[in-house]
Structure 1
Amino acid sequence: MLNPARLIVTMDEPFPTTDPLTNQFGSLNDLVHELATLQDLATRGSWRSILDKVSLARSLNLLTNPHDNLIYLSYNVLALSKLRRFTDASNELDSLHDFNSHHYKYETYPQLYPNRSGSMVPFSLRFIQAQLRIKLGNRQEGLDRFYLLLNFICQKIKEKECNNLEESVNIWKKRENFVLNCLIGHHLGAKEFNVCLDLIKDLINRDYLDPVLVSKLGYIQMQIGDLKGAKGSFNRVETMLNEGKNDGYSFLSEVEFRNLVNRNKALVYLVGKDYVSAVREYEECIERNNTDVVAINNKALCLMYLRDLSDSIKVLENALERVPTMAVNEAMVINLCSMYELAYVNHSEIKRTLSNWIARVVPDDFDASCTRV
Structure 2
Amino acid sequence: METSNTQTTAVDGVADTKTSDNLITDEINSLHELALRGSWNTILEKVSAARSFSQLRYPHEHLVYLAFNAVALSKLRRYSDALDDIESSLENLDNSSYRYESYPNVYPNRTGSMIPFSLRWLQALLPSFLGRRPDSLDRLYLLLQFVRARIDEGCNGEVWRRRESFVLSTIISHHSNQKEFGVCFSLVKEMLKKDMGNLSLISKLGYVQLQFGDLEGAKLSFQKVEGLMKEKEENLSVEVRNLVGRNKALIYMVGKDYVSAVREYDECIERDGSDVVAINNKALCLMYLRDLSDSIKVLENSLERVPTVALNETLIVNLCSMYELAYVNHTDIKKTLSNWIARLAPDDFDPSCTRI
Tell me if both proteins adopt one fold, taking TM over 0.5 as the criterion.
yes
Cα contact 1:77–1:93 (8 A) shared by 2? yes
Q: Which amino acid aligns with 2:98?
A: Y
Q: How does 1:130-145 map to 2 (within 5 A)?
A: 130-145=124-139
Specify which structure has the bigger relative contact order, considering alpha-carbon pairs within 8 angstroms and separated by 6 or more residues.
2
Among 63, 72, 94, the alignment partner of 1:70 is 63
Q: TM-score, normalised by structure 2?
A: 0.94
Structure 1 residue 3 displacement after superposition: 5.9
- The sequence identity of aligned pairs, in percent, is 58
Task: Tell me the equivalent position of 2:3.
Answer: none
Distance in 2, matches of 1:155 and 1:83, equals 32
Q: 3-state SS of the aligned residue for 1:9?
A: coil
Q: Which amino acid aligns with 1:11?
A: A
Structure 1 residue 10 displacement after superposition: 2.9
Q: How many residues of Structure 1 are paired with residues of Structure 2 in the alignment?
A: 348
Task: Tell me the equivalent position of 2:12.
Answer: 8
Among 140, 147, 154, the alignment partner of 1:146 is 140
Relative to structure 1, the CA distance from residue 12 to residue 208 in structure 2 (aligned partners, 3 Å threshold; closer, same or farther) is: farther
CA deviations 1:323-360 (Å, max 9, x no partner) are 11100111101100000000000011111111111111
Q: TM-score, normalised by structure 1?
A: 0.90
Q: Is residue 238 of structure 2 the alignment partner of residue 238 of structure 1?
A: no
Task: Tell me the equivalent position of 2:37.
Answer: 44
Distance in 2, matches of 1:149 and 1:177, equals 12
In structure 2, stretches of 5+ residues that fail to align are: 1-5
Structure 1 residue 370 displacement after superposition: 0.6
Structure 1 vs Structure 2 CA RMSD: 1.5
Structure 1 residue 237 displacement after superposition: 1.1
In structure 1, stretches of 5+ residues that fail to align are: 20-24, 246-252
Among 348, 356, 360, the alignment partner of 2:331 is 348
Q: Which amino acid aligns with 2:168?
A: L
Q: 3-state SS of the aligned residue for 1:31?
A: coil
Among 66, 70, 77, the alignment partner of 1:84 is 77
CA deviations 1:22-41 (Å, max 9, x no partner) are xxx5xxxx523512210110
Q: How does 1:221-232 map to 2 (within 5 A)?
A: 221-232=209-220
Q: Which amino acid aligns with 1:365?
A: D
Among 195, 198, 205, the alignment partner of 2:193 is 205
Task: Tell me the equivalent position of 1:191.
Answer: 179
Cα contact 1:262–1:284 (8 A) shared by 2? yes
Shifted more, 192-201 versus 206-215: the winner is 206-215
Q: Which amino acid aligns with 1:55?
A: S
Cα contact 2:19–2:111 (8 A) shared by 1? no
Task: Tell me the equivalent position of 1:58.
Answer: 51
Among 280, 295, 308, the alignment partner of 2:291 is 308
Distance in 2, matches of 1:38 and 1:225, equals 44
Q: How does 1:108-187 map to 2 (within 5 A)?
A: 108-160=102-154, 168-187=156-175
Cα contact 2:18–2:112 (8 A) shared by 1? no
Among 98, 103, 110, the alignment partner of 2:97 is 103
Distance in 2, matches of 1:4 and 1:219, equals 21
Task: Tell me the equivalent position of 1:216.
Answer: 204
Q: How does 1:241-320 map to 2 (within 5 A)?
A: 241-244=229-232, 254-320=237-303
